[in-house]
A and B are shown apart, each in its own frame.
Chain A
Amino acid sequence: MSAASDLDLGPGRFVWRLGDALSVRVDARAAVVTTVLVLAALATGVVALGLGDYTVPVPDVLGALAGTLDGPARTVVVGWRLPRVLLALLLGAALAVSGAIFQSLTRNPLGSPDVIGFASGSYTGGLVAIIVLGGGYTTVAAGSLAGGLATAAAVYLLAYRRGVQGFRLIVVGIGVTALLGSLNTWLVLAAELQQAMAASAWGAGSLNGVGWPQVGPTVGVLVVLVVALGLLGRRASVLEMGDDAAHALGLAPERTRAALVVVGVAFTAVATAVAGPISFVALAAPQLARRLTRAGGTGLASAAAMGALLLVVSDVLAQRAFAPTQLPVGVVTVSIGGAYLVWLLVREARRQ
């Protein structure tokens, strides 16, 4: 383990090497921030496991998780509440990673999937699956992914003019979001009452009613996506330097971008399939994480940790703020995210 490098990478940044085969760049500040965010998210998760109509004290929650405590407390904590908390953590991270990918691709903090239409497209796909095909987790998941990808393809082609520029993509995406919004409304209005109610409940973005059956497939898909992203991650940072520079460095910009769009849409679609459209986590989490780490580049790990924390906190608020009334978590993230968006726009406006 050595930091043998003559380069001054800035305070707290160094290279960790293991022989000649492995070298990893370490940013101490980013590592600390990410660790703290992960711990905070996990701690919130533990607290969330104890909250509800049947309150379980924290030591008992830990006992139930460790398997040293049996009885009704274990059933409530592990059987009922754990899948929801796990999904909040995982989906929050997935949404944030998706946001980080698209913000990197568009080189713009506004370029997240919920702003540029991909989340709406996932929702449209899911709606069609519920209304036309009758629903079911796998069908809705497949519908969300197909809808997201179709929207991504449409936005991409509409914005294409000898390659795709970030700003064009955002403007076209906002237009497509508006179109899809009215399509979604029409789909719900045109559907049978029962299906329309199911679709509306899902459409607000909610973790109410999720359980263990959704955890397995979600984890499986996320593992595949994380591996794919691991292979693409460094290319994303080269692509950020602009198409000409990326090309000159030996990267095929269009192909890389297309691959990143597919992976990014898939991260959003996973979340949409389980919980419906949850807005603003993808928009806000990567930027908030960046403010804390003060690091450049894509910062996927810190963004994921921030997303997990945001969604798990939002879900606790959604369940407890107006208890016994249960709010959809999407309502909470929209409120938090709306405040963030106003701040972001004011700040950008002031800068210009």
Chain B
Amino acid sequence: MFRPEFFLYLLTMAGVTYLIRMLPLVLIKEKIKNKYILSFLDYIPYTVLASMTVPAMFYATDIVPAAVGFAVAVLCGYLEQSLVKVAAFSCLGVLITELVIKYV
């Protein structure tokens, strides 16, 4: 079920990931007052997620179905649907497009 070296890999992976999350949370206790730093932190979640998504999403599967999935997600996101609905409709868009390309 497990290879012997697996646990060393697991420790490395989980350890590094945890330290990244833990150190700032534990070390920074004062409220930051500087408005530029606060603004920077306001923008960060959106810029991180956006740069993770574009263009990577278009390569997650074949490019045409992926583009349809992207368009569907943007539309649903614009209509402020829940996380789950947006993800589900996006997958559905990809699935339908793939089936159309394959069989029509």
> Do chains A and B stick together as partners?
no
Chain B residues engaging chain A, CB cutoff 8 angstroms: none
Q: Which residues in A have some Cβ–Cβ distance to B below 8 Å?
A: none
